[in-house]
Copies of this chain bind each other. A is one copy, B any other.
Amino acid sequence: MRVVKFGGSSLASGKQLEKVFQIVMSDPERKVVVVSAPGKRFADDEKVTDLLIECAEQCLVHNIPIEKVDLIMERYSSIANELSLPNEIIREIQTDLLNRLEKDKSKPDRFMDLLKASGEDNNAKLVAAYFQQQGVEAHYIDPKEAGLLVSNEPGNAQVLPESYERLFSLKDRSGILIFPGFFGYSKEGEVVTFSRSGSDITGSILANALRVDLYENFTDVDAVYSVNPTIVNKPKEIRELTYREMRELSYAGFTVLHDEALVPAFHAGIPVHIKNTNNPSAQGTRIVFERDNTNGPVIGIASDQGFCSIYVSKYLMNREVGFGRKLLSIFEDFGLSYEHTPSGIDDLSVILRENQFDLEMEDEIIHRIETELHPDVVKIEHGLALIMVVGEGMRRNVGTMARAAKALAKAKVNIEMINQGSSEVSMMFGVKEIEEKRAVQALYEEFFVTAKV
């Protein structure tokens, strides 16, 4: 038995739904289908989820924005028309949407979650209707009935452990089960969504709960690439990588799969197969517990911009028990999460994402560090990029760092920071944002392009 999840672009049009149907029917193991809301049909198109967010925002300020509602309904209708589905299903979706728009708006984030979740919920109904029209036994599954319980954190729900046992009973249901992604219900019975792109999480939870053999995640790329294809032209595809490798890569720019989505699959040891709806015969990429190390030491290189470094130095800092803890407490007081804390003898830097704070908060942070820790120097450096060089084969390979550092030196990239040694499967380099592209290209050249004689 398999759980098969389809992303938004796989469900954006009637033509895409036909592909989805073919894929599901081609293997009797594909019994549970998790669907996203309709995504983009072309580059400038709008995703239904985005339309729903705009709709909810306007609703909270003014009245129901009729034009937006029409735009949303138009997306469902066009799919239904393409597939010659009966009008009934469109009326059902419209009634549901208008119903939601009339609900209590006193808690904006609850209202927002209710609206956002309708994209997946109604699309699941539409997909089920299409499967039924094709003469297949298929059922829309209501996550509330099925028992997908989540924490009461709007827009950032976490699955509750009891869900797994409840969802297990889906195993006894006959036919193909069409399950809407992206949301669950709180114990109080309210709709709560996962963070954005959370349909991946739903699929992973179901895979875990049903103890399936495989979680197939259909998207619109042939495979996970070893490096960002906008930085390196036609990069090597990755056939197989471990959860840990995928996790480290996804941290810095590899957005194929939602970060949190790996957790339930990982805990149950269920392989995740990334495949392309538009090219289902492509091999795709498998995410597994262990893999044969056939590549070199490195399997992928990821990078991301928008980091900054707050540097604090104080003579004999490491004699002060609690210095680091006090510094980190200040960041915690501001609700900031930080990424790394490289340290020298008398200095400590905190690397964090810049988008978490503005100039005013920056001043407050610096002020608190100065008045509470009496450092010799505090300074902030903006515009850093982090590059992750990832691979299980790295730990046992003595020369990997030498190769990476040499490649960067040859490309005249100044390494602002290195963090290596805690993770066994990655090395992290901090460089200036303007040097990111050159750095990634140099590393790709070193580890993936065969050396010319």
* A residues at B contact (CB < 8 Å): 244, 247-248, 251, 259-260, 262-263, 266, 311, 315-316, 318-322, 324-325, 328-329, 332, 335-349, 388, 398-399, 401-402, 404-406, 408-410, 412-423, 425-428, 430
Contact = CB atoms under 8 A, between A and B. Distances in A.
Contacts of A346: 244, 247, 423
Given A266-B315, A321-B337, A335-B321, A344 B415 contact: no
A342 B422 contact: yes
B342 A421 contact: yes
A121 B420 CA distance: 49
B338 A251 contact: no
A266 B376 CA distance: 12
B422 A415 contact: no
A425 B346 CA distance: 11
Given A321-B335, A343-B340, A421 B426 contact: no
A112 B341 CA distance: 40
Given A247-B345, A316-B259, A421 B413 contact: no
A263 B324 CA distance: 21
Contacts of A345: 247-248, 251, 388, 423, 426
Chain B CB within 10 Å, residue with most, of A321, A414, A416, A418: A418
A412 B402 CA distance: 11
Contacts of A340: 343
Contact of A401 (B260, B320, B325, B415): B415
A319 B158 CA distance: 12
B319 A337 contact: yes
B344 A324 contact: no
Chain B CB within 10 Å, residue with most, of A244, A260, A340: A340
A314 B271 CA distance: 20
A337 B319 CA distance: 7
A427 B342 CA distance: 11
Contacts of A425: 344
The 3 A-B residue pairs with the shortest CB-CB distance, nearest first, are: A344-B423, A417-B421, A399-B409
A450 to B, nearest CB: 20
Given A344-B425, A401-B408, A402-B406, 18 more contacts: A244-B346, A248-B345, A260-B316, A262-B315, A321-B337, A322-B332, A343-B419, A344-B419, A344-B428, A345-B388, A346-B423, A348-B422, A349-B422, A398-B415, A401-B418, A405-B405, A417-B420, A421-B430
